[in-house]
Structure 1
């Protein structure tokens, strides 16, 4: 009986959050809706842990939906690469559910809370589906599920600018989705299949056609827009700034990470690194853009006065780190990119949760409004400091583990200038994180400001924030298991794309 249930986990990990969406809507009352949301997300996380353990012990899992064998049926595939991303997405979803109830209470009207819980479940289902699907068209479908729910979530922000931010994201996201669909359609036109493994087998026979080259270009541009890769990042700062804080923490830690995962999946397992990087100059373009992103976005972050916008620009810079790693097309580079996908997800989730907790008390996120807050919110401020140090890449933090792996890969590949830019970007990160820390600890509090009175944010918000901070420290002190998992994933990915 147990084995039969375990064999159905690949489909259940998508179906459970999807079925929970109408259940949450029907529950309607905020408390009941949150309870269903909490249970569903933790069930997904538990299933993701079991799947990760089985893939690690037994190898890839193939699941034919409805019993229809691929390439005619829809296939779900969980391997060493996407099992890591699945664990990240499910884990952030579960922690966000703990954080969300109190975190959303002051930003969203009580009568709309059940809707936001339902939308977050739909977004989670879409992200999980993107991660494990083996079908190119269904990847697009799941991407649209996550995107449509994200637009609505951002629009529910407490300020009127949230609506404009959601509209900007909708326009850019629609363009990205259309490009992806065109690319998948062109690949289907040349091969007659949508199954990724079958595409990988059939595409080499038509690699010399302009249609296949155009298909790859459309897919890369479309997913770059979704992942906010420079210069397709213009939607991200406003979206992260004006969304409810709990929503920002969730999508910042997962959405762009899953999009860049999908890009890596297409490049390495569908088209193959030999075609994308040897016959076409994709790696040179990506390396150049990632270098610009690291410096330009980090510099822009220094001049921000709102902490959420500052962290949003930082996310654009951090995507440059990830892209530079996988563009090396080496085992070390891919391992570093995957490690930074995970670590940056944990870092940004923790930082946005800490800022959300501050906003819960101070009712603002500008640096000036948070001045002196460390005196009344010492635990939340300490969480921001540790998360900020991890973002910079200080030793004994998760950020250091993945940045060190990236620097090692860049130096081994002879990209000394890019390695130097990684260090410069880290120094710039120290400046913009230092600005916030200076305000929290060393600026005097406005004597007329009474919003800071009352101490820390609710316990659930602190537990969620410190849970992610603890993971950052644990990985920083003992990163060997994570790096071993990412090396396995990189080896499997390069083998699949050979």
Structure 2
């Protein structure tokens, strides 16, 4: 009966999303309790699904639920294997943790919590669906709710960022749908597992199959924000409310990258990639450029949100490179980096939100000697930044190590693309170290204004240039204890996962065995 939890993980948040609007006609502040209760329920269900998928899967491909009892290829399946279960866990944890920040920093309206719950339901659907068309449906749910959440503070700048995101995101979803259409014309199926055999029967060199994958990959490239398709992301991250930025930075592009990995290896398979080297070379070229340019642009930023937005462009480039390398070691690294990067970016943007909330710090220069007044937030911020660099022990190192090792092994076969990816990853690491070092220097070693009193986390001095918010508002303070506890927990988890080592390989070995 564990399979009934799969539709519940999708239906519960989507149904709950109607309640803040309906009950809001009579109660003003009903949104947060409904969202919190739903998030706790999702955590419990996600824990049961993860335990079963990793320890006692009921079928060779994990947990399978056939909607309406209709079997493939005609019915719609929900599937939770090792990869999708890990995504479900990330979504549930980040969604629940986001509520701790939004409780104090906002937005707080019932409409916000309705959109938040709808987004969580869409993300769960993307993680669990085994059908290409239903993946499009959930992709649109995620897109529409994200556009609304980016503009949640109703400012002109956030509205502009939301419209830009909407235009680019709509193009991406449309390209994906065109790719699905080509694939359906060639095979007559939409079920992911059924498509494996159907594509093999048609032939990996069939023009419709090749065109279908190309449109799907470009569509996801827009959603992931690979260079040069990244233009929506810096504005969306910068202009969205802090709790929204933490949520979408951790999950939205991560879900799109997960979907690209899922479709590539479950639907088209590694044999398709091996039969079409021009496609993999194109993916690796785009990924390499994204890694290098995203890192270089991040170094040039002064706004903290934009800095880590460009950092995401580079980090997702590494994940796409892992997909394109078509190597078991690199794919393991891509999976680890997919989950680890989502965790790291949530922690980093949570720290940025707390520094802005308590001390008005939104730009790198606002961090000057802020560690004196915010030692715990600053310490967690630095540790998460170093984990992003790949300093051991951290989950950031684990993912990058496996991707780079896979690239070196590909280079060992005589393919220069592997060597190219390894080199740009090294350069990206140096760029990442440069902007993280700049943050460390500002927090701990920049000159301090003697007129500014030193107070610990939990208070704001109320004076000094860092108390002025970038948009002209004032810092609120004090830093909420609950959000600080969440930040510390995320930081410890990011470090603790760095000790996983070979255990990670053991966890995902069944999935990798099916892909290769």
* Band of TM-score, shorter chain: over 0.9
Q: Is the CA contact 1:398–1:479 (under 8 Å) kept in the aligned structure 2?
A: no
Deviations 1:61-89 (A, max 9, x none): 11111222222221111112221222112
Q: What SS does the aligned partner of 2:440 have?
A: helix
Task: Pick from 35, 38, 52 the counterpart of residue 36 of structure 2.
Answer: 38
1:349 equivalent in alignment to 2:346: yes
Residue equivalent to 2:471: none
Q: Say if 1:149 and 1:360 are closer, same or farther in 2 by CA, change over 3 A.
A: same
Task: Pick from 412, 418, 422 the counterpart of residue 419 of structure 1.
Answer: 422
Task: Pick from 11, 16, 28 the counterpart of residue 20 of structure 1.
Answer: 16
Q: RCO greater where, 1 or 2, for CA within 8 Å and sep 6 or more? A: 1
Instruction: Find the aligned partners of 2:369 and 2:360 in 1 and give their Cα distance.
Output: 14
Q: Say if 1:309 and 1:324 are closer, same or farther in 2 by CA, change over 3 A.
A: same
1:204 equivalent in alignment to 2:204: no
Q: What SS does the aligned partner of 2:17 have?
A: helix
Q: Which 4+ runs in 1 deviate beyond 4 A?
A: 445-448, 450-456
The structural deviation recorded for 1:465 is 1.4
Q: What SS does the aligned partner of 1:174 have?
A: helix
1:410 equivalent in alignment to 2:410: no
Residue equivalent to 1:283: 280
Gaps of 5+ in 1: none
Instruction: Find the aligned partners of 2:28 and 2:95 in 1 and give their Cα distance.
Output: 18
Residue equivalent to 1:125: 121
Instruction: Find the aligned partners of 1:195 and 1:443 in 2 and give their Cα distance.
Output: 57
Residue equivalent to 1:481: 503
350-359 or 482-491, which deviates more: 482-491
Deviations 1:113-147 (A, max 9, x none): 22111111111111110111011100000000011
Q: What SS does the aligned partner of 1:63 have?
A: strand
The structural deviation recorded for 1:480 is 4.1
1:332 equivalent in alignment to 2:329: yes
Residue equivalent to 1:434: 437
Task: Pick from 260, 263, 271 the counterpart of residue 263 of structure 1.
Answer: 260
Residue equivalent to 1:274: 271
1:294 equivalent in alignment to 2:291: yes
Instruction: Find the aligned partners of 2:235 and 2:485 in 1 and give their Cα distance.
Output: 27
1:183 equivalent in alignment to 2:179: yes
Task: Pick from 149, 152, 168 the counterpart of residue 153 of structure 1.
Answer: 149
Q: Is the CA contact 1:158–1:243 (under 8 Å) kept in the aligned structure 2?
A: no
Task: Pick from 350, 366, 369 the counterpart of residue 366 of structure 2.
Answer: 369
1:457 equivalent in alignment to 2:479: yes
Residue equivalent to 2:414: none
The structural deviation recorded for 1:377 is 1.2
Q: Say if 1:440 and 1:51 are closer, same or farther in 2 by CA, change over 3 A.
A: same
Normalising by the residue count of structure 2, what TM-score does the alignment of the two structures yield? 0.90
15-24 or 267-276, which deviates more: 267-276
Q: Is the CA contact 2:273–2:280 (under 8 Å) kept in the aligned structure 1?
A: yes
Q: Is the CA contact 1:81–1:492 (under 8 Å) kept in the aligned structure 2?
A: no
**C-alpha RMSD of the superposition:** 1.9
Instruction: Find the aligned partners of 2:55 and 2:476 in 1 and give their Cα distance.
Output: 49
Residue equivalent to 2:110: 114
Task: Pick from 383, 386, 400 the counterpart of residue 386 of structure 1.
Answer: 383
Instruction: Find the aligned partners of 1:158 and 1:375 in 2 and give their Cα distance.
Output: 34
Task: Pick from 222, 235, 238 the counterpart of residue 238 of structure 1.
Answer: 235
Instruction: Find the aligned partners of 2:274 and 2:112 in 1 and give their Cα distance.
Output: 42
Q: Say if 1:493 and 1:83 are closer, same or farther in 2 by CA, change over 3 A.
A: farther
The structural deviation recorded for 1:487 is 3.4
94-103 or 454-463, which deviates more: 454-463
Residue equivalent to 1:47: 45
Deviations 1:17-45 (A, max 9, x none): 11110112234356431111112112112
Q: Say if 1:455 and 1:438 are closer, same or farther in 2 by CA, change over 3 A.
A: farther
Task: Pick from 480, 491, 497 the counterpart of residue 513 of structure 2.
Answer: 491
The structural deviation recorded for 1:483 is 3.6
Normalising by the residue count of structure 1, what TM-score does the alignment of the two structures yield? 0.93
Q: Say if 1:394 and 1:456 are closer, same or farther in 2 by CA, change over 3 A.
A: farther
Q: Is the CA contact 2:367–2:466 (under 8 Å) kept in the aligned structure 1?
A: no
Residue equivalent to 2:447: 444
Q: Say if 1:455 and 1:156 are closer, same or farther in 2 by CA, change over 3 A.
A: closer
The structural deviation recorded for 1:339 is 0.3
225-234 or 410-419, which deviates more: 410-419
Instruction: Find the aligned partners of 1:483 and 1:357 in 2 and give their Cα distance.
Output: 35
Residue equivalent to 2:355: 358
Q: Say if 1:199 and 1:157 are closer, same or farther in 2 by CA, change over 3 A.
A: same
Gaps of 5+ in 2: 412-417, 452-462, 468-474
300-309 or 256-265, which deviates more: 256-265
Q: Say if 1:393 and 1:30 are closer, same or farther in 2 by CA, change over 3 A.
A: farther
Residue equivalent to 1:143: 139
Q: Say if 1:158 and 1:374 are closer, same or farther in 2 by CA, change over 3 A.
A: farther
Q: Is the CA contact 2:273–2:326 (under 8 Å) kept in the aligned structure 1?
A: no
Instruction: Find the aligned partners of 1:164 and 1:74 in 2 and give their Cα distance.
Output: 37
Instruction: Find the aligned partners of 1:272 and 1:198 in 2 and give their Cα distance.
Output: 12
Deviations 1:407-462 (A, max 9, x none): 22222222334223212211110111112222222223555527659975101211
Q: What SS does the aligned partner of 1:76 have?
A: strand
